[in-house]
Chain A
């Protein structure tokens, strides 16, 4: 079976969990006689290409606009208006950062006639342009390649997915790794919501990464339950790197690792940290990651007077993540809304016990993790304190958590995805 897959990022060039999930899933699918043409906006050249064929959308040459069908052309113009957002970044941020740099409609039209497309390849400055161009290229690729199913990951690629479906008539699967409600709470961006819903309505099947997400899709987007399937994410077994850094502090370390945004609940982590430090000053807290709430969080830590015990390390990538886990005694994911959440699984693989919020998809499949309500700061502080001080507890979580996570396999997730494909062709 041949699959045309649209993503936005792929390891090692990732800014969030989406790239990691795409990697695991495609690798898992490669065990099941599946051929994947994975399209990302820009291939950097050093991705692991051993198991999938990676297309570089930037190398696609479109010689004539005529190659694109008329009905797509009209769709495409619509998409251009609708795709004014960056994942992992809210609209205000986008407007602030890229003020004055947004391409005007005129400029954009000129770009369409270019014969070769180059993508900046990250969640970057010319997003308007890139998303729309991505859809255009999707249509082109759909016309010039043979495949059985189209699979699009997250709203950014839905425009591409729909375009490819219109061009080829092949079934479309859209994969919801996060919903707009996860990213923005109740203050959703209507345009993003509309794109997500349009993608799911145009799709023949919708894959949700957890039952939590599936419920949101059904309740908030009005998608028919029969069309929505849950396939939990998994985690890729890794050989832990040789640690170059040695832990310099003697205190136990409690770690938050993720984007410092509303969705991830960094503020609850800080409030809980304060409560723990008040009780036991011999603990250090680390917040790894960056995001629109970072400065506010730094200010809060200063205000609480815990800045010599609470450290910010910025965004970590690749091995640095595992180095950080190597120094951690507890990992906390206090997400306000987390469709899945792969990082607790990575922590568990590194023998770090985890505390996760009940509002996360990963809580549905994990047994050996402490689960708390994200808003219950007392409960969170209590869990951290317990994990740090009651060795029996942490030892048990480390031991059984490791077994539990070792039994998760991307092949299992991929098998279910493959079943979804089969039901459509």
Chain B
């Protein structure tokens, strides 16, 4: 029995408003409520609602046979509650079918795993509590922001009692190995690792509507034939992608929803593949070996490293200055401070400061509310300067 494991990332950041020097010390509201609401409503209409409905229909049609997993960031859940309760309801309906697994992650979709274990664990717990409160299920499997992973991060996660983690099947880490097996952490072999098959995932997520792609157009027949071509001993194909792929990155007009609707039928008819959740996979499969990841990897860009968020002068200064504040935030122990601290950590803020657009331009630019990384940096630092003033106040 071979299986496809679908996991979708659902995330929306709290974008900052234009925050000028003159606002520092005067205005402590940092977020662009109007823009956040409009974007949330737009994505809800184009992606979340229709895609959720599609999966709900498929589950109703095929019963036990269609299974999927989501990771929904805490900041996305917060924004659903504020701007799109209808979306939250439809996710609840999906979870209630029992065919949908919810994964664990950091509350604010943060990069805290890289620098601050205490904050990292605090956010995981916060997110876990939120998921239990909203969906009534306890997440068993962890996925880190942007699939960021290293041996050490895996060890932290194992220590928290998680059984498995979802990571990128980065070529420079795998070498000749296939991502279509279950692996385990190099330090603590109890932690199992599901690796993204980036070729097949990106065929859907990035290349689906690319007319310059030699395999355009992508049909379910073609896709299933590729699955069938995989060595029969390789058991699990992990297809991980942003949920916004459906309807937002790939517009409805590209036929992405039709592809999704037709996929199970084609799969069941012409292959021996099934659908599984990550929890099913770790129950039915044994790890074939350990993966060594001394330096953090992620699912971003060609490099599969951290350079979309960290590495240039702007990002390092903003990131460094932010996490320097942890002790002061803790000492202050004020609910509003904790909340802003959380929202400021969202990885998107650092992504906007990325200067390597010219190579991976399209994806970065599409989601960027700023005209330039410099503007993003100046705005973030102005906000941070005000935040520091609040921390220093008696």
Chain A residues positioned under 8 Å from B372 (CB to CB):
295
Please tell me which stretch of A14-22, A62-70, A302-310 contacts chain B, meaning at least 4 of its Cβ atoms lie within 8 angstroms of it.
Answer: A302-310
A248: Cβ under 8 A from any B Cβ? yes
The proximity string for B residues 273-309 relative to A, scoring 1 for CB distances below 8 Å and 0 otherwise, is 0000000000000000000000000000000000000
B374 to chain A, nearest CB (A): 4
**Contact A298 B21, CB 8 Å, known A308-B321, A311-B385:** no
A376 to chain B, nearest CB (A): 26
The answer to whether B25 touches A307 (Cβ under 8 A) is: no
A-B contact count (CB 8 A): 66
Q: How large is the interface on B (under 10, 10 to 19, 20 to 34, 35 or more residues)?
A: 20 to 34
A220: Cβ under 8 A from any B Cβ? no
Please tell me which stretch of B71-79, B240-248, B329-337, B376-384 contacts chain A, meaning at least 4 of its Cβ atoms lie within 8 angstroms of it.
Answer: B376-384
B25 to chain A, nearest CB (A): 3
Chain A residues positioned under 8 Å from B22 (CB to CB):
245, 248, 313, 323, 327
Please tell me which stretch of B101-109, B173-181, B311-319 contacts chain A, meaning at least 4 of its Cβ atoms lie within 8 angstroms of it.
Answer: B311-319
Of A248, A249, A302, A313, which one neighbours B313 at CB under 8 angstroms? Answer: A302
A247–B23 Cα distance when bound, in Å, is 9
Of B23, B26, B377, B386, which one neighbours A307 at CB under 8 angstroms? Answer: B377
A286 to chain B, nearest CB (A): 6
A309 to B, closest residue via Cβ: B385
B24: Cβ under 8 A from any A Cβ? yes
A75–B314 Cα distance when bound, in Å, is 50
A301–B380 Cα distance when bound, in Å, is 14
B382 to chain A, nearest CB (A): 6
Of B21, B26, B317, B384, which one neighbours A302 at CB under 8 angstroms? Answer: B317
The answer to whether B374 touches A248 (Cβ under 8 A) is: no
**Contact A248 B25, CB 8 Å, known A299-B313, A303-B313, A312-B378:** yes
The answer to whether A311 touches B313 (Cβ under 8 A) is: no
Of B27, B317, B374, B378, which one neighbours A303 at CB under 8 angstroms? Answer: B317
The proximity string for A residues 247-275 relative to B, scoring 1 for CB distances below 8 Å and 0 otherwise, is 11110000000000000000000000000
The proximity string for A residues 308-340 relative to B, scoring 1 for CB distances below 8 Å and 0 otherwise, is 110111100000000100010000000000000
Of B23, B24, B378, B385, which one neighbours A298 at CB under 8 angstroms? Answer: B378
The answer to whether B24 touches A249 (Cβ under 8 A) is: yes
B115: Cβ under 8 A from any A Cβ? no
The answer to whether A298 touches B389 (Cβ under 8 A) is: no
Chain A residues positioned under 8 Å from B21 (CB to CB):
286, 311-313
**Contact A248 B24, CB 8 Å, known A298-B374, A311-B382:** yes
Of B25, B320, B378, B384, which one neighbours A247 at CB under 8 angstroms? Answer: B25
B126: Cβ under 8 A from any A Cβ? no
Chain B residues positioned under 8 Å from A298 (CB to CB):
314, 374, 377-378
The answer to whether B24 touches A307 (Cβ under 8 A) is: no
Of B25, B318, B320, which one neighbours A249 at CB under 8 angstroms? Answer: B25
A294–B317 Cα distance when bound, in Å, is 17
The answer to whether B381 touches A308 (Cβ under 8 A) is: yes
B117: Cβ under 8 A from any A Cβ? no
A245–B23 Cα distance when bound, in Å, is 9
The answer to whether B320 touches A308 (Cβ under 8 A) is: no
The answer to whether B381 touches A311 (Cβ under 8 A) is: yes
The answer to whether B25 touches A250 (Cβ under 8 A) is: yes
Chain A residues positioned under 8 Å from B200 (CB to CB):
none
A241 to chain B, nearest CB (A): 14
Chain B residues positioned under 8 Å from A314 (CB to CB):
20
B388: Cβ under 8 A from any A Cβ? yes
A106: Cβ under 8 A from any B Cβ? no
The answer to whether B381 touches A248 (Cβ under 8 A) is: no
A311–B382 Cα distance when bound, in Å, is 7
Give the contacts of B1-53 with A (CB-CB under 8 A).
20-27
A50: Cβ under 8 A from any B Cβ? no
A312–B381 Cα distance when bound, in Å, is 10
Chain B residues positioned under 8 Å from A311 (CB to CB):
21, 24, 378, 381-382, 385
A74: Cβ under 8 A from any B Cβ? no
The answer to whether B26 touches A248 (Cβ under 8 A) is: yes
A304 to B, closest residue via Cβ: B317
The proximity string for A residues 377-401 relative to B, scoring 1 for CB distances below 8 Å and 0 otherwise, is 0000000000000000000000000
**Contact A308 B378, CB 8 Å, known A248-B25, A298-B314, A313-B20:** no
A190: Cβ under 8 A from any B Cβ? no
B120 to chain A, nearest CB (A): 23
A246: Cβ under 8 A from any B Cβ? yes
B187 to chain A, nearest CB (A): 33
Give the contacts of B357-394 with A (CB-CB under 8 A).
372, 374, 377-378, 381-382, 384-386, 388-389
The answer to whether A305 touches B25 (Cβ under 8 A) is: no
Chain A residues positioned under 8 Å from B374 (CB to CB):
294-295, 298-299
The answer to whether B377 touches A308 (Cβ under 8 A) is: no
The answer to whether B23 touches A248 (Cβ under 8 A) is: yes
A314–B382 Cα distance when bound, in Å, is 13
A302–B380 Cα distance when bound, in Å, is 12
Give the contacts of A199-255 with B (CB-CB under 8 A).
245-250
A314 to B, closest residue via Cβ: B20
Task: Please provide the 5 A-B residue pairs with the shortest distance between their CB atoms, ordered closest to farther.
Answer: A248-B25, A248-B26, A302-B317, A311-B21, A302-B313
Can you list 25 A-B contacts with CB-CB less than 8 angstroms, sorted by A residue number?
A: A246-B26, A247-B25, A248-B22, A248-B25, A249-B385, A249-B389, A295-B372, A298-B314, A298-B377, A299-B314, A302-B317, A302-B318, A303-B313, A303-B317, A305-B317, A305-B320, A307-B318, A307-B377, A308-B321, A308-B384, A311-B378, A311-B381, A311-B385, A312-B21, A313-B21
Known: A248-B386, A311-B382, A323-B22. 7 other contacts (CB 8 A): A247-B25, A248-B27, A298-B314, A298-B377, A302-B317, A305-B320, A313-B22
